[in-house]
Amino acid sequence: MNGGTHIVQEDLALYAMASLRGEDLTAVSAHLQSCAECREELKAVASDLTALGMSVDQQPVPEGARQHFMDSIRADVRPDSTARTVPAIISFAKRPAKTAWVPWAIAAALAVGAAGLSVKVNTLREQLREQSLLAVRSTEENVHSQRVLNLLMAPSAQRATLTATKTAVVPTGHAIYLADRGELIFQGSNLKSLPADKAYELWVIPANGSAPIPAGVFRPDKGGDASVVMPPLPPGIPAKAFAVTIERAEGSSMPMGPAVLSGAPTSGE
């Protein structure tokens, strides 16, 4: 308190934060009982402190906080200010001598809080987007895997072993085909390497005598192995046979090159 009739604002701030002790606490409490102006000023200070407290994360008060707080307030007052050095009654109506730390601290805390909230929202939005993409990819992979499993297990799937036609090498191919769904899996082995401008192409030969249906272009790996899994095929076309020809690298709409593998299905409805 000062030498006048009212409580200085730093003591009101400390009182509002429950940081006064001993005789200071007793004196301020006694004065507030009889001074309506100081009670109103205490409400204003408490309101400022509440706004500040709600805008930042709460942390434990460090050791020596009261003394540091008092030193910071005194350092903020100009040397020629009469609000702290001359015993006088403080004018609460205009509040000209109120220490500037409260509004500045609130503004800074709000700015930091707003920036932190923006970062959190952006982070959460990015995480949600990534999770959505992962969920979509996972769903697509599960659907594809289920289709592959269904084809492998289907009793009505047509199966064929493709063997070499006119070559000393013994390349082979195995096809599993489910006509009503238009689903096909082909696995080839011991296939020769081809020039860069050539590729193997798989064909479905329809049982109804219509034109061969291209079922995918592929190139074997270094071990001569290759596969075609679930190429886009029209459903509902039973196969009379399967064949592999050598075509241009980009493939062909009709078999043009020599056939290296061919075979008819041995089972399937």
pLDDT of residue 68: 60
pLDDT of residue 118: 61
Angstrom CA distances, 226 to 166, 173, 213, stand at 20, 9, 19
- Residues 115-144: tens digit of each pLDDT: 556 666 677 778 888 888 888 888 888 888
How large is the angle between the packed helices 9-16 and 22-34, nearest 10 degrees?
100
d(CA 213, CA 255): 9
pLDDT of residue 86: 32
Q: Once rounded to an integer, what is the mean pLDDT over residues 153-174? A: 81
- Residues 192-203: tens digit of each pLDDT: 999 999 999 999
CB 170 within 8 A of CB 190: yes
pLDDT of residue 130: 85
List the alpha helices (DSSP H) in the chain.
9-16, 22-34, 36-55, 65-76, 82-85, 101-153
- Could you count the other beta carbons within 10 Å of the beta carbon of residue 179? 23
- Could you count the other beta carbons within 10 Å of the beta carbon of residue 214? 20
Residue 244 pLDDT level (bands cut at 50, 70, 90): very high
DSSP three-state, residue 118: helix
Q: Once rounded to an integer, what is the mean pLDDT over residues 59-85? A: 53
DSSP 20: -
Token pair recorded at residue 51: 């706004």
pLDDT of residue 173: 95
Q: Give the residue with greater pLDDT, 92 vs 222.
A: 222
Does the pLDDT value for residue 99 go beyond 50? no
Q: Classify burial at 160, counting beta carbons within 10 Å of its beta carbon; exposed 0-12, middle 13-18, buried 19 or more.
A: buried
Could you name the CATH architecture of 158-263?
A: Sandwich (2.60)
Token pair recorded at residue 28: 């301020």
The residue ranges of every structural domain in the chain are 9-99, 158-263
pLDDT of residue 232: 95
